[in-house]
Amino acid sequence: MDKLLKDLLMSDGISGYEENAGKIMKEALSKVCDSVETDNFGNVIGKKGDSPKGKGDSPKGSKKIMIAAHMDEIGMVVKHINEKGFIYFIKVGGINDSVLPGKTVKIINKKGEHITGIIGTKPPHLMSDEERKAPVKFENMFIDIGLSSREEVAKVIDIGDQIIFEPSAGVLNGDFYYGKAADNRISCYAMVKIMEKLPKNLDAEVYACATAQEEVGLKGGKTSSFKLNPDFALVIDTTIAGDMPGIEEKVSALKLGKGVAITMIEASGRGTIVPQKVRKIMLEAAKENNIAHQIDIIDGGMTDAAVIYTNRDGILTGILSIPTRYIHAPASVFNIKDVESAVELAVKTIEKAVKEL
């Protein structure tokens, strides 16, 4: 596994706590961009290319292009420590309560130390019939770090400390990889590779934006796109693969290893409805360059594109999504070939957009 990809998957950075993931992105982007900054919101923005609007060779002036990939992950935050040293928490981002019991987590304190904990619940042996029938809610779960009092815990953990699932990353088998925070660090990795592969003579100023707080309201995509006001934006994110038990093809026909997904509609239209001329550019770029791809129509869920394309007076925006199994779980599975096709198609889409939009 590529070191940058592994570092991103293993790093911590729930929504609003993205500093460490941001440091990795800033260092990586500094190697492929002309300049990199971290804005007031916590977005890391790298810039590459000539100044836009009138300084290129094009009669219309060179374009301003934005690539966005969110770097935050789902997780939890310490809410309360009881007198016996058990820790209660809130969820940050969309986590199904059913994935939580028994999981190993890391609580990251103000010193940057990773404190190991186990999410506990009342044992089923001691539940009433009514309790056993009902799903356990996160409010009734707690984290055990092996200390026996509030005073002991308070020496190493504060209210407000972030909690992540135990970091993991590796090769599952062949081209199938796994890792924590694949949503959306695999797209952050792809974005770095896109900036690396874009031609130097591209008549455009390109911004790579590792956005913050996407999982809790698409916030970083909104602030960064307002600041940049690009001519064209391309969002890279993950999407739900359907090649697993329990998902019918009519719900999701996406398969790992069959290429990046070109997303056309998300959240049944409540999110982005990708403009027809942007769809055309992405589809033509894929077909002209024989890039493996799939088509994604999403009933639920949305990306930063939903706030980017509605910002200011409207920004032409496309979405490339990497099929992933077990999104919003402690670990996800993806195919590295799909990440590579996302990079290839993004580069060709941007080249085509610069000429045609």
Residue 60 has pLDDT above 80, yes or no: no
To the nearest 10 degrees (0 to 180), the angle between helices 336-356 and 276-288 is: 120
Tokens of 97: 């309560």
Rounded CA separation 340/84 (Å): 49
Residue 356 has pLDDT above 60, yes or no: yes
Mean pLDDT score across all residues of the chain:
94
State CA 9 to chain mean position distance.
Answer: 10
8 A C-beta contact, residue 22 and residue 42: yes
Rounded CA separation 31/44 (Å): 14
Tokens of 176: 């199938």
| Encoded amino acid at 352, one letter | K
pLDDT confidence band for 260 (50 / 70 / 90): very high
Tokens of 236: 């890279």
> 3-state SS of the chain: helix, strand, coil percent to 5?
30, 30, 40
Residue 52 has pLDDT above 80, yes or no: no
φ and ψ of 118, to 5 deg: -120, 130
pTM of the predicted structure, to 2 decimals: 0.94
| Weakest mean pLDDT among 39-53, 163-177, 187-201 | 39-53
Q: How far is CA 267 from CA 134, 212, 263, 273, 296, in A?
A: 29, 21, 11, 9, 11
Mean pLDDT of all residues in 131-144:
90
pLDDT confidence band for 202 (50 / 70 / 90): very high
Q: Are strands 176-179 and 260-265 parallel, antiparallel or unpaired?
A: unpaired
Question: CB under 8 Å to 167, separation ≥6 — which residues?
Answer: 9, 10, 11, 12, 106, 180
- Residues designated catalytic: 214
Residue 51 has pLDDT above 70, yes or no: no
**Where does residue 267 fall: left (phi above 0), alpha (psi -120 to 50 degrees), or beta otherwise?**
left
**3-state SS, one letter per residue, for 182-228:** HHHHHHHHHHHHHHHHCCCCCCEEEEEEEECCCCCCCHHHHHHHHHH
pLDDT confidence band for 3 (50 / 70 / 90): very high
Mean pLDDT of all residues in 253-279:
96
Residue 332 has pLDDT above 70, yes or no: yes
State CA 119 to chain mean position distance.
Answer: 24
Which tens digit of pLDDT belongs to each residue from 308-328? 999 999 999 999 999 999 999
Which tens digit of pLDDT belongs to each residue from 68-95? 999 999 999 999 999 999 999 999 999 9
| Encoded amino acid at 266, one letter | E
Identify the pLDDT of residue 58.
Answer: 42
